[in-house]
Amino acid sequence: MRFIFFIDHLSTWAGKVFAWAILILTFVVSYEVFMRYVLGAPTAWAYDTSYMLYGTLFMMSGAYALAHSAHVRADVVSRYFPPRVQAGMDLGLYVIFFYPGILALVWYGWDFFALSYRQNEHSSYTPGGPPIYPFKFVIPAAAFLLMVQASPR
């Protein structure tokens, strides 16, 4: 039981920490709009920064949303079943779809990150772009958090 509370706490903490990315993202986009349209001097780094921040925010919020039952559910049919049948359907769908998908995301996300790290990959959108591998590390990290959060209770 303590492990379940620890995982919930970890997912909530990660969600709250990465939620601050929206504030930084808002500042970056506002600064870019001001520089581009008011001063006529667009920045070279704003695009890379904005897509990395948004992607990180989107991916790292998955475990938080799962911990707080905030994911969108398509329970059009299952809501008419008793709770026990709903739980059985949820378990079956997790086993058939969720876990294989998340395991694939962890596995291939790690390969995606590792290749980027080995190549010292940088963004091709801007000259002298930032490294991409820290952003690609978010993929397996977020998938792992989501997998642990969805562990059987």
Q: Which of 78, 68, 111 is nearest to 119 (CA)?
A: 111
Mean pLDDT by runs of 10 across the 153 residues of the chain is: 85 91 95 94 90 92 86 76 87 90 95 96 86 94 92 63
**Quick one: 77 exposed, middle or buried, by C-beta within 10 A (0-12, 13-18, 19+)?**
exposed
The token duo for 149 is: 């959060």
Q: Which of 32, 67, 70 is nearest to 53 (CA)?
A: 32
pTM of the model: 0.84
The token duo for 74 is: 């398509």
pLDDT for the residue numbered 93: 86
